[in-house]
Structure 1
Amino acid sequence: MPERPRNPYYNGPVSDHFDGTQFFNPGGDPPRGLRDLLRWQFGGGRARWPKSAPSPFPPARPEERIDGRDLRVTMVGHATLLIQVAGLNILTDPVWSVRTSPFTFAGPRRVVPPGIGFDDLPPIDIVIVTHNHYDHLDLVTLKRLFARHAPHIVTPLGNDTIIRRAIPKAKISDMDWGDRMSLWDDLVIDCEPCHHWSARGTRDRRMALWAAFVLTTPAGNIYHIGDTGFHDGLNYRAAADRHGGFRLACLPIGAYEPRWFMKSQHQSAHEAVDGMLACRAAHAVGHHFGTVQLTDEAIDAPVDMLKAALAGRDIAPARFRALRAGEVFDVPEA
């Protein structure tokens, strides 16, 4: 009988989403295997992206702090957002590198520069890393942030090991689904399930956890998902039941084609609108599109789908905005 592979990142008890070696989505679909990957890669149908697609917005220069009932989100690019609320500056899945890849010379390359210059960042207090795919966990950027800001890094189980190997002195909190952390006077962080997977290479698939996060603040609740398949909306409805709805949901809307391959791991913009309604979010911002080409759809397809989905549900476009690099959104009160 073949020896069970060793998990290099996490050693913990078996749970309803961890079998002792690998994490999994309860009642969900595992990621597809090599045969399906090759079928997709060599099947054609990939839209051609431009080599450069500058944002219509100039690079933002954020204020140092946002207080009171104000809530501001600035798009950096892909899944990197600067969330300013309750006097805290929070970065999600920070990537300032040119490529989202283990290599500097190959792999998906960004076609639009970051919407905030690295040197123009305000003091960063908290960094949320939702999972370990290279377009979300960028060790080069995390090292730069540690050297400049020394933020508190919050991430799901196992990802802390990856980060700590690169930044031994970093302050890191690892969280399991269902965990709650209250380390700041005006912020509580809950770790929530989402339907995804993880890998940094070919032999560590699903050995670090993926997660969504809820930020409870004096200005309202924020629901942030880095990546997810829609999974019949189960996690959206559960989050609303636990937290009573949200002032803002930050939802991925891109990297969804071809659907036969991507459905279990990346939702479409249409599904994201359904998710906004299911989690009872007053407003939403769309991310995970238009920065690096990971999948087959055209660069503007997620935005076009989002517009059509909102119109089809008779939802005002201002409630769900697909943010471009450098765009700033002052979120109305719910």
Structure 2
Amino acid sequence: MHGSSNRPPSDHFDGRVFFDPDGVPPKSLREVWRWQFGGDRKRAVWPKWAPSPYADVPPARVEGNKARLSFVGHASWLIQTAGLNILVDPVWSERVSPFAFAGPKRHNDPGIAFDALPGIDAVLVSHGHYDHLDVVTLSRLARKFSPRVVTPLGNDLTMTKADPAIRAEAFDWHQRVELGKGVAVTLVPTRHWSARGLFDRNRSLWASFVIETGAGKIYAVGDSGYGEGKHFRDIGRTHGPLRLALLPIGAYEPRWFMKDQHMNPSDAVMALADCGAAQALAHHHGTFQLTDEAIDAPAIALGEALDEAKIPRERLVALKPGQVVEI
């Protein structure tokens, strides 16, 4: 589990745990307790089932300089380009939790049925939290497609310990990985943290991805706080121009607890301006209730934040599972 053993210290690893030099440490267990059980908690009630009106059956391949993105739900995407099929943070499980019987449960089906997936060549997993790294789904993908799984340092051990058949490869921030057919991915810093249990905080690294495609660069942000926006400006400067950004907009209430690790919609609008992407798609909302806001609050607040920033609403769109965008 501990991905940090035998690794030399760096500007984001102290010899024992990873850290973000531009970030803040995760909340203490006492603060977790205060949020979960404090008397002032206001947790919105989500409908038990909130089906998406869409379902996608992707083509076998998308060739050449086109890219097709299908929103699976929460933080899961299928990106098809140059004849490659790439999944980002794939979760087909019923729950995102260490337990099969408890924890956040789906409020809608994945936008692509598992059996409708085309041949998967590569999987990108941003970090170790259960709503992004789902070993049950990774195991199913390994059995069916045996894809390469690219992930930040330490998460490979979580995967291979659960199932040695998962072809996990771990990389550090700023490492670039060739996926073939002219497509490559670079792991980039993001403002977050990691844990699978109570006692392994930040023993594995977290990252976002810049994917180079013939259709332009796609900046796939898994989880990130906004902070001062430094990471987003750095990515725009180092990796721009960006054709498309995938930006999280959900799991943000209460702000006192969540703002350092998850953006709210107005943070995401600032992140879009900072990274300079031509177009963005929102995710991390409407499927799993991880925090206190209502199921439709992120999408509504996103529209308001875009209007306030005088950015056209079509520049940052919140999709529903099963919706598709082609570039």
User: What is the match of residue 12 of structure 2?
Assistant: 17
Cα deviations across residues 89-111 of structure 1 (Å, max 9, x unaligned)? 11111100000001111000011
How far is the alpha carbon of 1:231 from its aligned partner?
Answer: 1.7
1:197 maps to 2:196 = no
Counterpart Cα distance in 2 of 1:244 and 1:50: 40
Distance in 2 separating the partners of 1:85 and 1:313: 32
Query: What residue number does 2:2 align with?
Result: 8
Alpha-carbon separation, structure 2, partners of 1:316 and 1:67: 30
Cα offsets for 1:262-287 (capped at 9, x unmatched) = 01000111111111111110111111
How do 1:1-334 and structure 2 match up within 5 A? 8-11=2-5, 12-43=7-38, 44-57=41-54, 59-331=55-327
Amino acid at match of 1:45: K
Query: 1:260 aligns to what SS in structure 2?
Result: helix
1:172 positional shift: 2.2
Shift of residue 183, structure 1, vs aligned partner:
4.1
Q: Helix, strand or coil for the counterpart of 1:231?
A: coil
CA contact (8 A) 1:189 1:213 kept: yes
Paired residue type of 2:45: R
Shift of 1:9: 2.1
Indicate conservation of the 8 Å contact 1:287/1:323, yes or no. Answer: yes
Cα distance in 2, alignment partners of residues 85 and 246 from structure 1: 16
Deviations 1:204-259 (A, max 9, x none): 01100000110111211010111000021100110111112211101110000000
Query: Cα offset for 1:71?
Result: 1.5
Aligned-partner Cα distance in 1 for 2:65–2:3: 39
Q: 2:272 is paired with a residue of what secondary structure?
A: helix
Q: How many residues align?
A: 324
**CA positional deviation for 1:323:** 1.2
- Quote the Cα distance in structure 1 between the aligned partners of 2:138 and 2:113: 15
Letter in 2 for 1:142: L
CA offsets per residue over residues 105-134 of structure 1, 9 Å max, x none? 100001101110000001111100000000
Structure 2 distance, partners of 1:273, 1:224, is 15
- The answer to whether the 8 Å contact 2:23/2:192 transfers is no
Deviates more, 1:244-253 or 1:193-202: 244-253
CA contact (8 A) 1:176 1:191 kept: yes
Task: State the secondary structure of the residue aligned to 2:223.
Answer: coil
Taking the aligned partners of 1:274 and 1:93, their CA distance within structure 2 comes to: 24
Residue 215 of structure 1 contacts residue 221 of structure 1 at CA under 8 Å; is this kept in 2? yes
What residue identity is the alignment partner of 1:244?
Answer: G
Contact 1:86–1:219 (8 Å) recurs in 2: no
Provide the TM-score with structure 2 as the length reference.
0.97
Cα distance in 2, alignment partners of residues 38 and 124 from structure 1: 40
Separation in 1 of the partners of 2:165 and 2:131? Answer: 23
Greater shift, 30-39 or 110-119, is seen at: 30-39
Deviation at 1:181, TM superposition (A): 1.6
Q: Which SS does the other structure have where 2:229 is aligned?
A: helix
Q: What SS is found at the alignment partner of 1:122? A: coil
**2-structure distance, mates of 1:18, 1:36:** 24
Q: Is the 8 A contact 1:187 1:215 kept in 2?
A: yes
Distance in 1 of aligned mates of 2:60 and 2:311? 33
* C-alpha contact 1:100 1:135 (8 A) present in aligned 2: yes
- For normalisation by structure 1, the TM-score amounts to 0.95
Question: Tell me, what secondary structure is at the counterpart of 1:232?
Answer: coil
Question: Runs in 1 of length 4+ with deviation above 4 angstroms?
Answer: none
Gaps of 5+ in 2: none
Indicate the residue corresponding to 1:3 in structure 2: none
Q: Is the 8 A contact 1:224 1:250 kept in 2?
A: yes
SS in 1 for 2:132: coil
TM-superposed deviation, 1:321: 1.1
Contact 1:10–1:161 (CA under 8 A) maintained in structure 2: no
User: What are the superposed Cα offsets for residues 289-325 of structure 1, whole Å, 9 maximum, x if unpaired?
Assistant: 0001000100001001110111112222221111111
Give the aligned residue type for 2:78. Answer: L
Partner-residue secondary structure (3-state), 1:111: coil
Deviation at 1:8, TM superposition (A): 2.1
Mapped partners of 1:136, 1:61: distance in 2? 22
